[in-house]
Structure 1
Amino acid sequence: MRRATLPVAALLGLAAFASAAASAQQDPGWVPKRTASLQALDKVTARVTVLEAPVNQTTSFGTLRITLRACNARPPEEVADAAAWLQVRDVRNKAEGEPVFSGWMFANAPGIAMLEHPVYDLRVLDCH
């Protein structure tokens, strides 16, 4: 019987993501903020929109409902970065929405954790 294994690069990526997520929550170098700037892309129309999402409020883009749970930024004396904890639901087929993403997104490393959706892309630009 053969076991499924992840490539080493994937394991390193998961380790980096876990480390970054933990540091965004616990590192004193992160400063809590009240609003996130998010860039949303509709892949069908090529429409790019910058959304301002307040913490603990839901923002809409197309059929997505985006709830920002936390947003942290680095202090001005450090390299600029932002980390946002997002919960994203797609209400296209269900009124209450189907979860399509939940977790930390990072402005400087959007490929670590990203929304995988056939119609929309979403990334964190800044926290303020």
Structure 2
Amino acid sequence: MMRFFTALTLAACLPLGLQAQDNDPASRPDAGASLRGDDPDLRANRGLSSRPGSIVVLRGLDKVTARTRDFEIPIGESVEFGALTITAQYCRKRPPEETPETYAFLQVVDRRTDGFGVDIAGEMVYSGWMFASRPAQNPLEHAIYDVWVLDCRP
């Protein structure tokens, strides 16, 4: 009697779909397919929604003089800002219908002189990604200068 009562209680607690097990594989949903449908990299006919840019727009701050300067750098080229040489390697901007984000891969070299005005080998002070929406996440850590991403243009 106890065994019958336990089986009856267990059957009453299970959802209706789990009470009757169907052993036909064609009738069961493929869990892997539903998980793969959530993976943005595996969606069929779905590429990246943004395109790489050709010009990075940056803003630089000289902390000594408290002056800012906006400048544009074509991808693969460099610009000098104070004692820094900033090279833009890549940038991308999401389209307006998605969560806004602009990011760029930058390399920054602090130029050095020997005291007589002759340039010597500079020091790489930054090489990495900067994000326009989170400038403090991967900042350029320099005593005199701050640099951050504003935009990426085609």
Same-fold call, TM > 0.5? yes
Cα separation, 1, equivalents of 2:66 and 2:112: 19
| Equivalent pair of 1:81/1:107 in contact (CA under 8 Å) | yes
Instruction: Say whether the 8 Å CA contact 1:82–1:125 is kept in structure 2.
Output: yes
Shift of 1:83: 0.5
Correspondence for 1:109:
134
Indicate conservation of the 8 Å contact 2:58/2:148, yes or no.
yes
| CA distance, structure 1, for counterparts of residue 59 and residue 141 of structure 2 | 15
Take 1:104 and 1:29, find their aligned partners in 2: how far apart are those partners?
A: 19
Partner Cα distance (1:90, 1:35) in 2: 22
Aligned to 2:104: 84
**Offset at 1:77?**
1.8
Aligned to 2:120: 95
The one-character-per-residue Cα deviations of 1:25-77 (angstroms, maximum 9, x if unpaired) are xx823420000110100000001000101100011100000000001000122
Q: Does 1:124 align with 2:149?
A: yes
1:51 is aligned, of 41, 64, 71, to 71
**1-structure distance, mates of 2:112, 2:146:** 16
CA distance in 1, matches of 2:111, 2:105: 20
In structure 1, runs of 5+ residues without a counterpart are 1-26
Return the offset for 1:78.
Answer: 1.8
Contact between 1:81 and 1:126, CA under 8 Å: does it hold in 2?
A: no
**TM-score scaled by length of structure 2:** 0.63
- In 1, the alpha carbon distance for the partners of 2:93 and 2:51 equals 5
Instruction: Pick the structure with greater CA Rg.
Output: 2
| TM-score relative to the length of structure 1 | 0.75
Quote the residue 2:35 is aligned against: none
How many residues get paired? Answer: 102
